[in-house]
Amino acid sequence: MKKVNSSCLIWPETKMKKYFLESAVFLCGSATMMIELTGSRVLAPHIGTSIMVWTSLIGVILGFLSLGYAWGGKIADKRPERALLSKLILFVAIWVALSSALTDLVVMFVSQIAPDLRITAVISTILIFGFPSVLLGMVSPFAARIRNTQVQHTGATVGMLYAISTTGSIFGTFLAGFYLVSYFSNVTIFIIIACLLIVASALVFVESGAGKKALLVAVLILMAGQSQGFAQSFLGSDFVDVNTPYSRVWIYDIPNVNPRNSIRMMQINDETSSAQYLFRDELAAPYCRFYRLAAGLKPSLKKALMIGGGAYTFPMDFIRKNPEARMDVVEIDPKLKELAKKYFRLKDDPRLRIFHEDARTYLNRTDEKYDVIFVDTFRSFSPPFQLTTRECVGRMHAVLNEDGMVMTNIISSISGEKGQILRAYLKTIKLYFPYLYVLKVHNDKRADFPQNLMVMAFKKRPKLSIGDVELNNYLQQIWIEDIPEDRPVLRDDFAPVDRYEIPVMKDMLKFRRNEMMYRIKRRVYAV
């Protein structure tokens, strides 16, 4: 009697099942990159998306994947069983699904105790993504051991499976980066990833009970509906949490005993971007009021450019205050315009044109001429370096009229190590604009403390005199002491703004911790 190969009883090589293992490897590779990209949105509202954060995220996940490669090969040599691999993948799915509702709380907790942004990013990534990264790293070597039946084909088998895993990672990168993060919440994306991993687990070992796995899928999907916004319940039920193609955006209200002073906030990633009074049109953000100096210093102002739209609170104010002028706004994120219309009273106006592209590319290609350029893109955690360099300043100089000016809001101290970004920017912009003035938005703050500073740069010497009392008071806040030029000029090929901002980040993190604790306490006491 012919002897039957027992392995065929476990995995009959029918045409339908021939590529099940390879398909599972593809899905696990996709899940790895989807987790990594979604992870950046988990961290963004708490510590931003700077190069420091991305370095921590990529480095930690690669490290744990490597650990998984090593462990996966050793375990597979001892127990090359499809059932075991199926369970490992299922464990990842369960971890991802259960952790989806807790990611914000984990980062919030770590940010309260970690002394540095980089430490916060590393510890948060380890706690949330370390375990699933190890298990996902085990999949490819495990699958290679299962599939490898002939020694002479070992290289081809391993190469093929790693190629399939990498192809899956490419697919997951495009799927998450181009679509998922733009249309779904983080919780929903994690549930989608969990479902894909459950499918991969079933493909590896279909005999392990497909009915039970289908039931688990239903339970996880139900969890998604119940857990959405779990962390935000500590911050307020009125929170709007939106993933855009470029950022994670929070919108929430801060009530006041006097309703006229109640404010609606827009937070983009780690930082408050815009503020608006709920029941009046006056500018809520003090630094935005300093932008009005441009019209006071240039009464004939007809055309302005705003770099960075946010919730479009200042562009709307500019149109109201200057009925004969018009403004172009360059904002890279088109979703913000939609949110501004829905939550911040933005209206279409023929005098307000909005361009959705990177400000640097707009400056490079435009033939328009402006009287003033307002810059409001310098965040404290991750300033866009390409808008700080001499090449960018040269383009701003080129698109301005002969007596044009630039007004830049920058978060920095004036003196000490926390003022490096300011001093580097001043030395850079001085290459093209000989008349520079720094104004302290909050005149009571110490010079060595990070704060909103307004940099005014002019092509020609301005007449610093305005009849308006409020605007003239702003001019009294010009910093009159010398600011050293001890930082090199920022260039496209070398602009270490992230390094300059590290000391600033520490103070800003302290402020964010206090702000977050205030919100949590407010919610706890309300309950």
Whole-number Å distance between alpha carbons of 64 and 154: 25
| Tens digit of each residue's pLDDT (9 = 90 or more) over 267-304 | 888 778 899 999 998 999 999 999 999 999 998 999 99
Tally of CA atoms within 13 A in the half-sphere of 255 that contains its CB: 7
What span, in angstroms and rounded, lies between the C-alpha atoms of 522 and 519? 5
- Cα separation, 403 vs 380, in Å, equals 30
- Asked if 185 contacts 8 with a C-beta cutoff of 8 angstroms, the reply is no
For residue 397, the surrounding DSSP H or E stretch is: helix 390-399
Q: Work out the pLDDT band at 338, boundaries 50, 70, 90.
A: very high
b/e map 375-410, b = 16+ CB within 10 Å: bbbbbbbbbbbbbbbbbbbebbbebbeeebbbbbbb
| pLDDT more than 70, % of the chain | 84
As a dihedral over the C-alpha atoms of residue 229, residue 230, residue 236, residue 240, rounded to 10 degrees, the angle is -10
Tell me: pLDDT of 263 over 90: yes
pLDDT tens readout for residues 486-518? 999 999 989 888 888 877 776 666 555 555 554
The second-level CATH assignment, the architecture, of 18-234 is Up-down Bundle (1.20)
What is d(CA 125, CA 118) in angstroms, rounded to the nearest whole number?
11
Residues 204 and 20 sit within 8 Å (Cβ to Cβ): yes
Q: Report CA-CA distances (Å) from 290 to 194, 331, 417, 455.
A: 49, 20, 26, 10
Please state, in angstroms and rounded to a whole number, the distance separating the CA atoms of residues 6 and 496.
Answer: 62
Q: What is the pLDDT of residues 160-204, one digit of tens each?
A: 888 999 999 999 999 998 888 878 888 888 888 988 898 888 888
Q: 228 exposed, middle or buried (CB, 10 Å; 0-12, 13-18, 19+)?
A: middle
Residue 210 has pLDDT above 60, yes or no: no
Task: For residue 429, count other CB atoms closer than 10 A to its CB.
Answer: 22
**Strand-pair partners of 240:** 251
Helix then strand then coil, % of the chain, to nearest 5:
55, 15, 30
Contact criterion met (CB below 8 Å) for 396 and 406 = yes
- Amino acid identity of residue 175, one-letter, is L
pLDDT in tens, 372-421: 999 998 875 567 888 999 999 999 999 999 999 999 999 899 988 889 99
Distance between start and end Cα atoms, the chain: 75
Q: Which strands, in side-by-side order, build the sheet including 240-243?
A: 240-243, 248-254, 263-268, 271-277
> Tens digit of pLDDT for each residue in 414-447?
988 889 999 999 999 999 999 999 999 998 888 8
Helices and strands per DSSP (H, E), number in the chain: 19, 11
Counted residue by residue, the chain has a size of 527
Instruction: Report domain 284-513's class.
Output: alpha beta
Compute the distance between CA of residue 224 and CA of residue 222 in angstroms, rounded to an integer: 5
* 324 CB neighbour count, 10 Å cutoff: 8
Q: Where are the domains of the chain?
A: 18-234, 284-513
Cβ–Cβ < 8 Å for 136, 68: yes
